A and B are shown apart, each in its own frame.
Chain A
C-alpha cells in the first residue's frame, strides 16, 4: 500500500504529560523529520499546543478521551518524515473535550490544524501555520513566515511578527500585537485591535466591528481600513510620515492627529479628509459607510 497511514494503538497510561486523566488514552508519538516537514492535524480536539523546536523530529503527546480514536502517521515509510497527518475522532462532543494534544515540530515546519471548538496555542514556528477553528481561541506568538487563521466565533491573537498573515473571523475578536510585511485582519462583527508593531502592507476590514490601530507604518507602507458601520480609530505618532485619505459616506470624521480639517462629503452627506504629515511616506486609506472615523495622537 502506498503511503500507508498507521492506525495507532494508544494505550492507557497513568504518568503522562499534558494533563492526561485516568480515563484517557495516552498519545506519545515521536519521529525523525525533515526540517521543513508538513504536519496536518484534524478533528475533534479541544486543546492543542504547537511548539516549534530546534530539533529535526516531531513529537505528538498528550491524551485523548476513552471513546476517542487517533488515526494517522507519516506519509513516507522510510527516512525522516516529510509529511505527517493525524485525525482525531470522538464519540461525542463531551468526548472531544477530553482530547488535548501537544505537537512539537521543527521550527521551519508547516503546520495545518483544523478543529471544531478548540483552543490552539502556537509558538516558535518560523515556517507556516494554517489554523482553522469554529469556536474557542487561537493564540500565536513568534515570527511565522506565513500565518493563516480562520475562525467563526473564536478569538484570534497574534503576538509577534508575521511576514504574511491573514487573520479572519466572523464574530470573534482579533488582536495583533506586533506587525508584519503583509497582513490582513478581517471580521464581520468582531473587533480588530492592532498595536505595538510596524506593518508594511496592511488591511483591516470589518462590517460592524470596531477597528483600532495603534501601530506604525513602515516607510512606503500602505494601510487600508474598511468598514460598514464599525468605528475606526487610528492612534498615530505625531511625527508619522503619512498621507491619509479618509471618507465616511454618512458617518463623521474627527481629526485630532494634525491640523487637517475634514470637509462635508458628496452632496453634503458624511465627511471626507485628505491630509498628510512629513513627506507622506506611507499611505493610509479609510473607507466607511456609516462608521465614525477618529484620528488621534498616540
Chain B
C-alpha cells in the first residue's frame, strides 16, 4: 500500500544531484512532482553550465616547462604524466560554479522551504546555460573587437580579409550552436561546442590584435 505522506516528501539536493549526474530521466517521484521536476531541471542546467566553462586557462608555456622541470627535480619518484594542469584548472573553475550553484539551491531549500518553492517559476525565455556561456565570453570579445577595429588600419588588406572571413565563419557557427542550445538547453555536447566556438573567436581576435600592434 502506498503511503500518501511519504509520496509528498520532496527529494533532497543530494538525491536530485545524483539523478542529474546520472542523466536519469525517469524517477517515479520526479515524474509526479512539479517542484522536484523543476529543481532537477535547474540542477541539470547548472551541470551543463559548469561543463561549458572555458576548458583551459592555460598558464604561459614557460610555466609548464619550468614547473614540470621543478617537479621532476624535486620528487624522488617519477611523476605520472597525467593531465594534471588541464584538469586542475578546469576543476578549480568548475568547483567555483558548483559551489555557487549549490549555495543558491541550498539557500532556496533552507530559506523558503517546500511551501514557497512550490511557487518557483523556471524561466524559459533564455536558458540559463546559454546566458552562462554567453556571459563567459561577451566582455572579452567586445573588448577585443574594439581593439581590432582601432588597429585595423595598421593591417594589410589581405590580412583584414582573412581575419574578417574567419570571424564570419565563427560567428555563423556560434549562431547555429546558440540556436540549437536554446532549443535543447540540457545538451552538454552542445554547450561544449558553443563554448569551444567562443574560445576560438577570442583566440583569433587576440591574435589579430597582436599582429596589428607589432607588424
Asked whether A and B interact, the reply is: yes
Residues of A within 8 A of B (CB): 42-43, 114-116, 128, 132, 134-135, 145-146, 148, 150, 152-153, 163-164, 166, 168, 170-171, 181-182, 186, 188-189, 200-201, 205, 207-208, 220, 222, 226, 228-229, 247, 249-250, 266-267, 287-290
Smallest CB-CB A-B distances: 9 pairs: A228-B173, A170-B166, A188-B166, A247-B189, A152-B162, A146-B61, A153-B162, A207-B173, A134-B159
- Which segment of B37-45, B89-97, B207-215 sits at the interface? B207-215
Nearest CB to that of A152 among chain B residues? Answer: B162
CB distance from B133 to the nearest CB of A (A): 14
Tell me whether A228 and B180 are in contact in the complex, defined as CB-CB below 8 angstroms, given that A134-B211, A207-B173 are known contacts.
no
Chain B binding site: helix, strand, loop or mixed by DSSP? helix
Interface pair B187/A266, CB less than 8 Å apart:
yes
B101-113: CB near A (< 8 Å → 1, else 0) gives 0000000000000
Query: CB of B203 within 8 A of chain A?
Result: yes
Q: Which segment, of B124-132, B144-152, B193-201, faces chain A?
A: B193-201
Identify which of A42, A150, A222, A228 contacts B197 (C-beta below 8 A). A228
**Which of B61, B156, B170, B197 counts the most A-chain CB atoms under 10 A from its CB?**
B61
Cβ–Cβ < 8 Å partners of B180 in chain A: 249-250, 289
A-B contact sample (12 more), CB < 8 A, given A134-B159, A146-B64, A208-B169: A150-B207, A152-B211, A163-B65, A170-B207, A171-B165, A188-B166, A188-B200, A188-B204, A200-B81, A226-B192, A249-B189, A289-B176
**Contact for B158 among A135, A186, A188, CB less than 8 A:** A135
Beta-carbon nearest neighbor of B80 in chain A: A220
B215 engages A267 (CB within 8 Å): no
> Knowing A226-B193, A247-B189 touch, does A170 contact B162 (C-beta < 8 A)?
yes
Residues of B within 8 A of A220 (CB): 81-82
Task: Provide the B160-198 mask, 1 if CB < 8 A to any CB of A, else 0.
Answer: 001101100110010011001000100101101100110
B29 located at the interface, meaning its Cβ lies under 8 Å from any Cβ of chain A in the complex = no
28 pairs of residues in contact across A and B, judged by CB atoms under 8 Å: A42-B214, A43-B215, A116-B215, A128-B65, A132-B210, A134-B159, A134-B162, A146-B65, A152-B211, A164-B65, A168-B207, A170-B163, A170-B207, A186-B203, A188-B204, A189-B165, A189-B169, A205-B196, A205-B200, A208-B169, A222-B83, A226-B192, A226-B196, A228-B176, A249-B190, A249-B193, A289-B176, A289-B193
Residue of B nearest to A200 (CB): B81
Which residues of chain A come closer than 8 Å to B184, judged between CB atoms? 266-267
Question: A290 vs B197: C-alpha distance in the bound complex, in angstroms?
Answer: 14
B10 within 8 A of A: no
Given A134-B215, A266-B187, verify A128-B169 contact (CB < 8 Å). Answer: no
Collect the chain B residues with CB atoms within 8 Å of residue A134's CB. Answer: 156, 158-159, 162, 211, 215
Interface magnitude class on chain B: 35 or more
The answer for the CA separation of A166 and B158 in the assembled complex, in Å, is 24
In the complex, A114→B210 CA distance in Å? 10
**A225 to B43 CA separation, bound complex (whole angstroms):** 27
Q: Is the CB of A287 within 8 A of B192?
A: yes
Chain B residues with Cβ under 8 A from A201's Cβ?
83, 86
State in angstroms the CA–CA spacing of A132 and B208 once bound together.
11
CB–CB A148/B162 < 8 A: no
Chain A residue, CB-CB nearest to B181: A249
A284 to B134, CA, bound (A): 27
A201 to B210, CA, bound (A): 28
